[in-house]
């Protein structure tokens, strides 16, 4: 087997930096208040609740639902443009490198227990996130927008990042007693769902990303066009399937819409056909090592 290289460590460091960068308003954690500066005009590419006390920018999925809710007044150009640009430049590299909730799931999966491996069932379940995208993140906000009622369906009924980063971190702070007094059935539903998802992530690799995340579904639709990501040199590939076997996600081929571009497959390719690229520029992989040889 080829040498593993440094991509896993680099990826973990980038994930940590991204999580810190998204939540750089450290004073917010101490004061139990959210950031209200001008950076909140922008969205970060990954799933990160804007009600997290540390969040310095908006969540793209929350912003999309609110833009759809307000679409009777003005078309959702801004958020759609941002999501399209993120998807075209980075694709699901965002999921693999720049999503704090993805990092949390990966760390939970490191807890030593028996693991559920991918199977035809998990592959079928991975289609659920496209339904959630369509129903909760698009159709419900659009339907209620017709009645002039803003209803971000995914944020309200499902989003575990909002519950963890927003609800838990805000409500635990002593200064937010008034918010705690307002908790009801919806809060307990979301907290139960969060606990279920986090528990599932201990046994199932990135359970939320694979089965439920509408943002990953959206970026997945653009992943074949994305500039940055894991690419396969078709001339070298022998279709041995080693890459698909080692991948913990429900991929059919490297770089397809289920691939979070983590690069785990690069080191197992016997013909060195896989590399991490930005367009034609090789950033990591055997092809780069070969170019460096005299």
CB closer to another protein, 59 vs 138: 59
- What is the rounded CA–CA span in Å between residue 1 and residue 292? 21
Determine, following the binding rule CB under 8 A, whether residue 220 of this chain makes contact with another protein.
Answer: no
45-64 residues in contact with another protein (CB under 8 A) are: 49-51, 55, 57-59, 62-63
The H-assigned helical ranges of the chain are: 7-22, 26-31, 60-69, 77-89, 93-97, 100-109, 120-125, 128-132, 140-146, 153-157, 160-161, 169-171, 177-181, 185-203, 207-211, 214-222, 242-246, 286-292
Site string for another protein, 73-102 (x = CB under 8 A): -xxxxxxxxx-xx--xx-------------
Q: Which residues pair with 228 in a beta bridge?
A: 278
Say if residue 253 is exposed, middle or buried (CB neighbours under 10 Å; 0-12, 13-18, 19+).
Answer: middle
CB closer to another protein, 42 vs 131: 42
Minimum distance between the CB of residue 62 and another protein, rounded to whole angstroms? 6
CB closer to another protein, 47 vs 265: 47
As a whole number of Å, the CA-based R_g of the chain is: 20
CB closer to another protein, 50 vs 205: 50
Pick from 91, 100, 152, 248: which binds another protein (CB under 8 A)? 152
- Please report how the helices 60-69 and 214-222 are oriented relative to each other, as an axis angle in degrees rounded to 10: 90
What residues line the site for another protein (CB under 8 A)? 34-36, 38, 40-43, 49-51, 55, 57-59, 62-63, 66-67, 70, 74-82, 84-85, 88-89, 151-152, 155-156, 159, 162-163, 166-167, 170-171, 179, 182-184, 186-191, 225, 227
């Amino acid at each position: 087997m080829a040498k593993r290289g440094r991509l896993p460590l680099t990826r973990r460091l980038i994930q940590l930096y991204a999580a810190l960068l998204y939540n750089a308003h450290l004073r917010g954690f101490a004061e139990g208040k959210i950031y209200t500066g001008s950076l909140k005009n922008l969205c970060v590419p990954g799933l990160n609740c804007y009600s997290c006390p540390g969040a310095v920018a908006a969540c793209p999925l929350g912003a999309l639902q609110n833009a759809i809710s307000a679409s009777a007044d003005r078309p959702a150009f801004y958020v759609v443009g941002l999501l399209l640009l993120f998807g075209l430049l980075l694709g699901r590299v965002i999921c693999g490198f720049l999503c704090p909730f993805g990092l949390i799931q990966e760390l939970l999966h490191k807890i030593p227990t028996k693991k559920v491996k991918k199977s035809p069932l998990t592959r079928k379940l991975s289609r659920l996130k496209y339904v959630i995208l369509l129903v909760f993140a698009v159709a419900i906000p659009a339907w209620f927008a017709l009645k002039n009622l803003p209803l971000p369906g995914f944020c309200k009924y499902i989003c575990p990042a909002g519950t963890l980063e927003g609800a838990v971190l805000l409500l635990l702070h002593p200064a937010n007693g008034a918010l705690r007094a307002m908790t009801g059935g919806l809060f307990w539903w979301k907290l139960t769902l969060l606990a279920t998802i986090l528990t599932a992530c201990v046994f199932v690799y990135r359970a939320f990303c694979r089965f439920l995340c509408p943002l990953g579904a959206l970026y997945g639709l653009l992943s074949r066009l994305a500039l940055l990501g894991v690419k396969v040199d078709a001339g070298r590939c022998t279709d041995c399937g080693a890459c698909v076997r080692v991948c913990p996600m429900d991929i059919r081929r490297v770089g397809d819409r289920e691939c979070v571009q983590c690069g785990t497959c690069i080191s197992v390719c016997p013909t060195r056909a896989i590399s991490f690229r930005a367009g034609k520029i090789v950033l990591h992989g055997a092809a780069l090592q070969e170019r460096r040889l005299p």
